[in-house]
Structure 1
Amino acid sequence: MPLSVRRAHTKSRNGCSDCKRRKVKVVIPWPMRLNLWRPPFLLLVQCDETYPSCNHCNRRGIPCSLSASKGPARALSNRLRATAAVADRRDRSTGSTTSPASAPPTSSHDDLEVAGLDIFSRSNQPVPSIAETWGYGLELMHHFSTSTAETLGVRPEIRQLWRVGIPELAYDSPFLMHIILATAASHKAYLLPAQRDRYANLAIYHQTAGIEGFRSALADLDAHDWRAVFCFSSMFVLSLGSAPTQRVPTATPPELDCFVFVRGVRAVLSELEPRTDGTFLGLLGKGVYVEDKDMDNKFEYTLASRHSTLPPGQLQAFEDMSTFFEQHLPPERLIGYQKSVKELRRSAYCIARAGANFEMGLSTVAAYLIPEDVMKDILTLDPFAVVLLAQFCVFFRLHETRFWVLSGLSKRLFNLIEGRVATLPAHLAAISWARTQVFEFWEPPS
């Protein structure tokens, strides 16, 4: 009788705490699996002990204890800092650097490198029970497919993408599913004031779970579906205007959350966006945003068109903004702000060109393209940067007339802007036109 071979130990010794608690087995090479009678379904729940998040936690969409250390945060920080350094070198090569006299302390800027994810903390609300999560999850998924998706786009193909394409990607991506459910919960909180607290708490829960999974995916992008990462970023940044976000107190006001998040992930998204060409996600990546080489020649005609949804005087407002920067900014800062004005003009051109069929993303797309130093000024509410923010408020106010996710953001942000430049007459004059549009132009007649 041959001697029996001792089976290799298959419990998760170095795995995550959740896998240990559930007694999930580790992956054993096939020759060592001597107990062939083992039911095959056990193979579906094996813990691979992969850093920073094991396959079991990824599949269930829960935070993995393997990422509890600062390793993933360092990986994400290094990625963002490296890309930020490249952007800084590129901006310096074109002369768009912030003067030392006006630049805020570098330590605050360094802290912002990962703030796009770190400011969103775990919710202090009690975690819903399994029964509540399951029941409300079905309700929220149904609401998203039948109602919320219809509010996130104008053109039929965009609505189809939200209704079918993105939810199908979420089947294999728990963090994307969480942000879908968070968006649906925010929508129901918006529609049902009597139930606002209940759905707001659900939105916070799913948003927090989603950002935890997204954090792990961003730290190891090659191991995750880039399409889910791209979709999550698009949904999250658009929902920050209305979602009842649970966040860590920081020096950055919550009205700037979308700019904080954009700065944190835009370097990664710039690598993913070209991959959307020729796919159904191309609609989400570009929408009606176009790079028209003849834009300068068509700009005045397009903005003055009777089909444009922009307020009268937008063309003159851009000219006044450029003149203001030329008169008050030193040369080393002027180039960056001129490029920012150019990107705002491009967004305005695309909005006017779309007529009544403008899509939601056009209100924030310029934030992905303005120079890094100008974005830093925006996040620290530099008096010159708030003049650019005032134009963003005009775009937000226009989009509020159609998209609930931005409801109220323009006025909250503009009140913040006015408080920042209250003692600066020249800056107040520079934002006076934008203030009129935000608070008066789109208001119903009394």
Structure 2
Amino acid sequence: MSPQCQRCVKRQIQCSFVEDGPERLSSPSGNIMVFDRWTTKSLDNPPPPSSDPDQPRQGSTPSASPQSGVVTGGDALQRGGKRFDILDLELIQHYSTRTYMTMSSRLSSHAVWRDTVFAEALCHDFLLHGVLATSALHKATMQPKTSDVYAEYSKVALAHQNAALAGYIPAVSKPSQENGIALFCVSLLLAIWAFASKRLPEGLNSVKLEFGQGEVSPGVTLPLHSPTADFIEIIMILRGIYAVFRETDSWLQGDIEELLRYPRDADLPPHSADVVEAFEVLAKALEDPELVPLLDYEGSKTTKGLLLEQLGRLHSISRCRSVVEWDGHIFTWFTMAPLPFINCLKQGNPVALALFAHWAAMFQCMDHHWWATGWAYSLVADVSSLLEPVWARYLDWPRRQVGLVFQETGCFEGRR
């Protein structure tokens, strides 16, 4: 008789395990369950746990396959003829446990990003690639920028971005009830990629005109590739989100509506005294004869009214910076802004730039998001360098907010 296990000895029954071959155990229904010996052995000697879930596993350095364009890892799990890419599974796990919580500060939206968006991604490949791209980009930012791991995850993110755009660009021109939610979600992800990378994703130029149908815009006269010029390009992505929202509004029903919520007036506290004073000082710039010539040319009164209107909108919307749950509401100042104001920024209108600097300083409330970190400082510093020293008193508040110091040389120099 073969040796019996302690459980069988205790119950005084014949042991169903045999010494050789596959181990068999009778189930309560009388069926025979077969276990390979590696199963028992692996349970007795489990592999050591990873010391850091955010670090790539040994032997599975992320890479992108140049032949197929499909992101692959060094390892793959194969069961029943199916092949699962280990890196993609890693990115899904990271998104489902970490990244989804970083998309918004509002707790009630976290489940939407984790469950609703991902469920929609399983029905639309371009959104699934967008989710994986965001997860890879998030993992990249958690590594030192000089490291090989950062470079590899960035390559993976780019590969998934390209795959997402390949499906998104043709679909965005034909929105429908079937793809409306997926298009809306990818539009939000596009903005996050642009903010995190400080530039627009490659391949998006062909779709920008679709976002701005019927809009005539002058060229950007700001310094090429300056933070402000780059940011204006991202503004157009945000405006594109609004355009997609208009096209898909009637189909954004159910749980996804949580991403469309706006704060009530009662949800936002009044501004502190220093912010109120900053707005009052900025409003005086429109009347300062040293800064603004006499408004005696055609269209000037319209421009002045436009700038005052946007000043009032910023005064109202920026109250959200005091409430973490609603910090993302700060973007609506741009998504809802009229195109003539965006054009004023593109043309370097000094009042518009000073107003933009105030918004940028308030945008610092988003610095705790990995994809928005550093923008506030860069933008205020850039606007400070674009405007003449005579504008110093009108930029005092935003400079103090981000830690800039005015130098005696007449230039603004950043100090952390």
Is TM (by shorter chain) over 0.5?
A: yes
Distance 1:156 1:437 in 2: 27
Q: Sequence identity of aligned pairs in percent? A: 22
The runs of 5 or more residues in structure 1 that have no matched partner are 1-123, 305-311
- Secondary structure at the counterpart of residue 161 of structure 1: helix
What is the letter of the counterpart of residue 302 of structure 2?
E
One of 260, 263, 276 as aligned partner of 1:285: 260
How far apart are residue 428 of structure 1 and its match?
Answer: 3.5
Count of residues paired in the alignment? 299
Aligned equivalent of 1:420: 386
> Contact conserved, 2:65 with 2:72, CA < 8 A, in 1?
no
Matches of residues 7-46 of structure 1 in structure 2 within 5 Å?
Answer: none
Distance 1:346 1:207 in 2: 35
One of 265, 279, 283 as aligned partner of 1:318: 279
CA radius of gyration, larger in:
2
How far apart are residue 148 of structure 1 and its match?
Answer: 0.8
- Secondary structure at the counterpart of residue 181 of structure 1: helix
Encode CA deviations 1:334-381: one digit per residue, 9 max, x unaligned: 2221222222122222333xx34334x223121011111001222344
- Secondary structure at the counterpart of residue 364 of structure 1: helix
How far apart are residue 315 of structure 1 and its match?
Answer: 1.6
The change in CA–CA distance for 1:291 and 1:206 in structure 2 (over 3 A counts) is same
The change in CA–CA distance for 1:339 and 1:126 in structure 2 (over 3 A counts) is farther
One of 256, 262, 270 as aligned partner of 1:302: 270
Aligned equivalent of 1:165: 116
Distance 1:204 1:184 in 2: 11
How far apart are residue 325 of structure 1 and its match?
Answer: 3.0
Aligned equivalent of 1:92: none
Aligned equivalent of 2:402: 438
The normalised TM-score by structure 2 is 0.64
Distance 2:397 2:198 in 1: 30
One of 157, 164, 169 as aligned partner of 1:210: 164
**Is 2:313 the counterpart of 1:343?**
yes
Aligned equivalent of 2:329: 362
> Contact conserved, 1:185 with 1:203, CA < 8 A, in 2?
yes
Bigger helix share: 1
How far apart are residue 131 of structure 1 and its match?
Answer: 6.2
Between stretches 222-231 and 156-165, larger displacement belongs to 222-231
Cα RMSD for the two superposed structures: 3.2
> Contact conserved, 2:99 with 2:135, CA < 8 A, in 1?
yes
Distance 1:411 1:274 in 2: 38
The change in CA–CA distance for 1:131 and 1:411 in structure 2 (over 3 A counts) is closer
- Secondary structure at the counterpart of residue 349 of structure 2: coil
The change in CA–CA distance for 1:223 and 1:216 in structure 2 (over 3 A counts) is farther
> Contact conserved, 2:235 with 2:334, CA < 8 A, in 1?
yes
How far apart are residue 431 of structure 1 and its match?
Answer: 1.9
Matches of residues 182-331 of structure 1 in structure 2 within 5 Å?
Answer: 182-193=133-144, 194=147, 195-222=149-176, 224-243=178-197, 245=199, 246-247=201-202, 251=224, 253-273=229-249, 276=252, 279-286=254-261, 289-290=262-263, 292=265, 302-304=270-272, 313-327=274-288, 328=292, 330-331=300-301
Aligned equivalent of 1:408: 374
Encode CA deviations 1:295-345: one digit per residue, 9 max, x unaligned: 7xx98x6223xxxxxxx6112112222222354373110222122222212
The change in CA–CA distance for 1:212 and 1:411 in structure 2 (over 3 A counts) is farther
The runs of 5 or more residues in structure 2 that have no matched partner are 1-63, 74-84, 206-219, 406-415
How far apart are residue 156 of structure 1 and its match?
Answer: 3.0
How far apart are residue 241 of structure 1 and its match?
Answer: 1.5
> Contact conserved, 1:176 with 1:210, CA < 8 A, in 2?
yes
How far apart are residue 226 of structure 1 and its match?
Answer: 1.0
> Contact conserved, 2:65 with 2:71, CA < 8 A, in 1?
no
Bigger strand share: 2
Encode CA deviations 1:4-41: one digit per residue, 9 max, x unaligned: xxxxxxxxxxxxxxxxxxxxxxxxxxxxxxxxxxxxxx
How far apart are residue 166 of structure 1 and its match?
Answer: 0.7
The change in CA–CA distance for 1:173 and 1:380 in structure 2 (over 3 A counts) is farther
How far apart are residue 144 of structure 1 and its match?
Answer: 0.7
